[in-house]
Structure 1
Amino acid sequence: MPPVPPAETPAPSPALTAEERAERALGLAVRAGRGLGLEPGEPRVLHHVFNVLVHLAPHPVVVRVPSPGIAPVGEQAAQQRRELAVAGWLADRGAPVVGPSPLVPREPVEIDGQSLTFWEFVTETDPLSAVTDPAVLEHRFVEQTGWAAELHALLAEYPGGDELPVLAPVVPAVGRTLAALAENPHPLLTPAELDRARAEYAVLETLVQDLPAHFPGARLQTLHGDSPAYNLLRTAGGHLFSDFEDTTRGPVEWDLTLVGPRGIEAYERASGTRVDRALLDVMEGARFLQIVGALAFASLKPDLATMLEPAVGQWRARAPLSLPATDA
């Protein structure tokens, strides 16, 4: 695998407490909002893990402030422009999505080395965080995976799909995180495991170069990019898909990773199409590799490694990624 250029490998920023990151993001959001003519009188943080979401109350505007160090700001802005274009196109057609804020231009705002985006504020009436019963939680994900079929049908008509990169959340993104781990190893991964991860990434690079050659039946189209069944808000007016920051082009199987057999069955019923189980397995391997790579950012969030450890264990238990044999 060719080395990733150092300039393209973001070095994680020094660790900040969750409160410090939220406070910094709040200040950036308020300043950026004022620069666009908004006067937030009661700004508040709605959510903070990697991204921090700031409601510029009383305006119905939410600012997404990414954590520093995830990607170079220029690349981050280009990714956000793709997100705003796709989510905005869907919103303009009345699709069930959280759309860009109509109160500001549909453009990222760069401030202090970060790139921010502005979104509609919606009130979630049945948050996932309130669900404690595992059976209820599974039922919700099954139902929401079925709803993703509707989203995919809409996204298939997106006119700019051919211009989107194929599986951008994996290639080159995972290559950069693995390069960062090579420079600053994490104790959760042995050197042999890092070698395995880099070899699997090389497999994915080959796949992305010509996915139909390896999976001739794959349906390549515009995707949400980060599992729409998990990125959905339930509101009084119905469900809304959100967080299109990883929007990309690829097979629908990428959007269906880790939803479980019942979720896949619900999707097939709703879409009237069959999910390619072999391709799904490769996409799930890619998703686990993405999680392994996320260890590069453990310094951004002290408990991140603990959160990722079960998924890293599942990755270890899987056979290493490989591509199906093709006819000579």
Structure 2
Amino acid sequence: MTIQHLTPSDIATRKARAVAAATSAGRALGLEVTDPKVLHDVFSVVVHLAPSPVVVRVPVVLPPGRDVASVAARQARELAVVAWLADRGLPIVRPSPLVPREPVQQDGLSMTFWEFVEVDASRQPDFIAEAALAADLHAALRDYPGELPFLSPFTAVSTFLARLEENPGLLAPADLERARSEWAVLGPVLSSREGFTKAFPNVGIQPIHGDAPSYNILRTASGVRYADFEEVTLGPAEWDLAFLGPEGAAIYNEAAARAGVRPLDPAVLRVMETAGMLQMAACHALVPQLPMLAEGLAPALQRWRTMPFAGGLG
């Protein structure tokens, strides 16, 4: 089953549909919305419902098989975790207090409502130095009492690979073969808590951000705020620290010692970096929905080809 790539016109129509749905949902919840502004349009359309201090995130690029109900369940987990962290005083982009704290369905889309935060464009990111922030976040997340799936960003890889096999033009044959082979090694280890514990019995797991927290913070005039917990999950802290290199790991470990969380395990970090690269290779299954993704993933694909197979597990 070959899937057609969306055209620029298709993507513009998708964005307009998301803006209209966010606007309608916001008004139905009693918000004043006269000038909705799109802040971001990649995997989600992010809309500021101006003049209300509310931002709506509407996922529009979805993995194969993910429907509105599964999107909403994922969003409910995110809202619960973020609200819990906010209640404990962490600097975080909070769910909007102006609407109920739950996903909202409108016109076949599921969305979440967040407080509007003014970003300070003069504050430049320093992803390596900001690895220290992940240690403080992990220290707070350790006590989160809610249920979370295990390493859910990675366990979706098998679904992506199935779609790639149905559409072989999306990934070069040699790359697809490596991806299949790596999944055969990494899948049993990283698809369940039991598999991970068997391979790494001395490495603890806990709730983690799930999507590179150093890259998912907002810089405001009053400081940084943690953001975008869509992939929140159980897993090893190393998943959150992949790709920051030795300097980033050292900064994290120093902050971890202060925060009372364990240092990174080098062997697990190598495996997480390979697993992250495999995930990015598998994400070519989303290219028909987001054609610009192919160019964005090209550098990661090149790097993945040079990395040790399966992070040394194979």
Query: So what's the TM-score if we normalise by structure 1?
Result: 0.87
Post-superposition Cα deviations, 1:78-128, rounded to whole Å, max 9, x if no partner, equal: 111111111111111111111111111111112222211111110111367
Offset of residue 298 of structure 1: 1.0
Q: Size of the alignment, in residue pairs?
A: 303
Q: Note closer, same or farther for the CA distance 1:146–1:213 as it changes in structure 2 (3 Å cut).
A: same
Query: So what's the TM-score if we normalise by structure 2?
Result: 0.90
Tell me, yes or no, if the aligned pair for 1:223 and 1:250 is still in contact at 8 Å: yes
Structure 2 equivalent of residue 34 of structure 1 = 27
Tell me, yes or no, if the aligned pair for 2:134 and 2:214 is still in contact at 8 Å: yes
Offset of residue 192 of structure 1: 3.4
Offset of residue 12 of structure 1: 8.0
For 1:160-179, what aligned pairs fall within 5 Å after superposition? 160=146, 163-171=147-155, 173-179=156-162
SS in 1 for 2:272: helix
Structure 1 residue ranges without an equivalent (≥5): 1-5, 132-136
Structure 2 equivalent of residue 277 of structure 1 = 266
Structure 1 equivalent of residue 145 of structure 2 = 159
Following the alignment from structure 1 to structure 2, what is the Cα–Cα distance between the partners of residues 225 and 235? 22
Structure 2 residue ranges without an equivalent (≥5): none
Q: CA RMSD in A?
A: 2.0
Offset of residue 16 of structure 1: 4.2
Q: Note closer, same or farther for the CA distance 1:177–1:324 as it changes in structure 2 (3 Å cut).
A: closer
Which one is further off, 297-306 or 56-65?
Answer: 297-306
Post-superposition Cα deviations, 1:12-42, rounded to whole Å, max 9, x if no partner, equal: 8844445433322211110111222222112
Tell me, yes or no, if the aligned pair for 1:15 and 1:300 is still in contact at 8 Å: no
Which amino acid in 2 is paired with 1:301?
L
Q: Note closer, same or farther for the CA distance 1:12–1:147 as it changes in structure 2 (3 Å cut).
A: farther
Tell me, yes or no, if the aligned pair for 1:207 and 1:323 is still in contact at 8 Å: no
Which amino acid in 2 is paired with 1:47?
H
Following the alignment from structure 1 to structure 2, what is the Cα–Cα distance between the partners of residues 262 and 245? 27
Query: 1:309 and 2:298 equivalent?
Result: yes
Following the alignment from structure 2 to structure 1, what is the Cα–Cα distance between the partners of residues 38 and 256? 37
Query: 1:216 and 2:201 equivalent?
Result: yes
For 1:205-284, what aligned pairs fall within 5 Å after superposition? 205-208=187-190, 209=192, 210=194, 211-272=196-257, 273-284=262-273
Following the alignment from structure 1 to structure 2, what is the Cα–Cα distance between the partners of residues 184 and 301? 15
Q: Note closer, same or farther for the CA distance 1:107–1:12 as it changes in structure 2 (3 Å cut).
A: farther
Following the alignment from structure 1 to structure 2, what is the Cα–Cα distance between the partners of residues 266 and 12? 44
Following the alignment from structure 1 to structure 2, what is the Cα–Cα distance between the partners of residues 290 and 15? 25
Following the alignment from structure 2 to structure 1, what is the Cα–Cα distance between the partners of residues 5 and 97? 32
Tell me, yes or no, if the aligned pair for 1:16 and 1:300 is still in contact at 8 Å: no
Query: 1:321 and 2:305 equivalent?
Result: no
SS in 1 for 2:127: helix
1:110 paired residue among 98, 105, 110 = 105
Tell me, yes or no, if the aligned pair for 1:225 and 1:247 is still in contact at 8 Å: yes
For 1:12-51, what aligned pairs fall within 5 Å after superposition? 14-17=6-9, 18-51=11-44
Structure 1 equivalent of residue 166 of structure 2 = 183
Offset of residue 144 of structure 1: 1.0
Structure 2 equivalent of residue 134 of structure 1 = none
Tell me, yes or no, if the aligned pair for 1:200 and 1:322 is still in contact at 8 Å: no
Query: 1:147 and 2:142 equivalent?
Result: no
Following the alignment from structure 2 to structure 1, what is the Cα–Cα distance between the partners of residues 4 and 311? 30
Following the alignment from structure 1 to structure 2, what is the Cα–Cα distance between the partners of residues 63 and 12? 28
Give the % identical residues. 49
Which amino acid in 2 is paired with 1:72?
D
Following the alignment from structure 1 to structure 2, what is the Cα–Cα distance between the partners of residues 201 and 16? 33
Offset of residue 303 of structure 1: 2.1
SS in 1 for 2:35: coil
Offset of residue 54 of structure 1: 0.2
Following the alignment from structure 1 to structure 2, what is the Cα–Cα distance between the partners of residues 74 and 15? 27
Which one is further off, 45-54 or 104-113?
Answer: 104-113
Post-superposition Cα deviations, 1:127-169, rounded to whole Å, max 9, x if no partner, equal: 67xx5xxxxx5xx112211111111100011111xx2111000
Q: Note closer, same or farther for the CA distance 1:12–1:95 as it changes in structure 2 (3 Å cut).
A: farther
Structure 2 equivalent of residue 86 of structure 1 = 81
Following the alignment from structure 2 to structure 1, what is the Cα–Cα distance between the partners of residues 56 and 279? 25
Offset of residue 201 of structure 1: 1.9
Following the alignment from structure 1 to structure 2, what is the Cα–Cα distance between the partners of residues 13 and 191? 19
Offset of residue 195 of structure 1: 2.4
1:198 paired residue among 175, 180, 185 = 180
SS in 2 for 1:64: strand
Deviating above 3 A after TM superposition, structure 1's stretches of 4 or more consecutive aligned residues are 11-21, 322-325
Structure 2 equivalent of residue 3 of structure 1 = none
Tell me, yes or no, if the aligned pair for 2:208 and 2:240 is still in contact at 8 Å: yes
